[in-house]
Homo-oligomer: A and B are copies of this chain.
């Protein structure tokens, strides 16, 4: 995602409304602000995870596997839950397997399938990173008071539920 750090000058805004009359500048500005804030937050998470040799994609895979009773899932299921394509998930699993954090097993019932299991090293990695993650995220979210936070989450979810309007 892109930051667009530079805000438009009032002069360029003038030019803009001349060329595209009737534009609701505040809507555009608010929209860009949201994208930028989100990008900043996501980048910060990237940086935190990078300190532990992780990236967001791989991190969420570890988290998803941890949730499973037997620490096991399939690429398709993981892709579905993580909201990426199967092709992307193949890449994540390749990387995690190379680093020994997960293992691939054949599924004896369905020979098209693989089972992906969190390894001991993967669990250790989670135990190393998760406390830091939890602490940082908690501190971060506490920047806002509880009522502000609740309102923010609710309104943002309301907005996101209508992304169909952008089409």
Measuring CB to CB, which residues of chain A are less than 8 angstroms from any residue of chain B? 1-6, 8-9, 12, 15-16, 19-20, 23-24, 26-28, 30-31, 33-45, 47-48, 56-57, 60, 63-64, 66-68, 80-84, 127, 130-131, 134, 136-144, 148-149, 151-153, 155-160, 162-167
Closest to A57 in B: B2
Interface of A is mostly: helix
For A127, list chain B residues within 8 Å (CB). Answer: 19
CA distance A155 to B139 in the complex (A): 15
A91 CB to nearest chain B CB (Å): 12
**A41 contacts B159, C-beta separation under 8 Å:** yes
**Complex alpha-carbon distance, A127 and B136, angstroms:** 44
- Report whether A48 and B166 are in contact in the complex, using a CB–CB cutoff of 8 Å: yes
Known: A159-B143, A163-B44, A166-B137. A153 touches B2 (CB 8 A): no
| Beta-carbon contact of B156 and A140 below 8 Å | no
Contact between chains at B82 and A4 (CB < 8 Å): yes
Inter-chain contact A67/B139, CB cutoff 8 Å: no
CB-based contact B165/A143 at 8 Å = yes
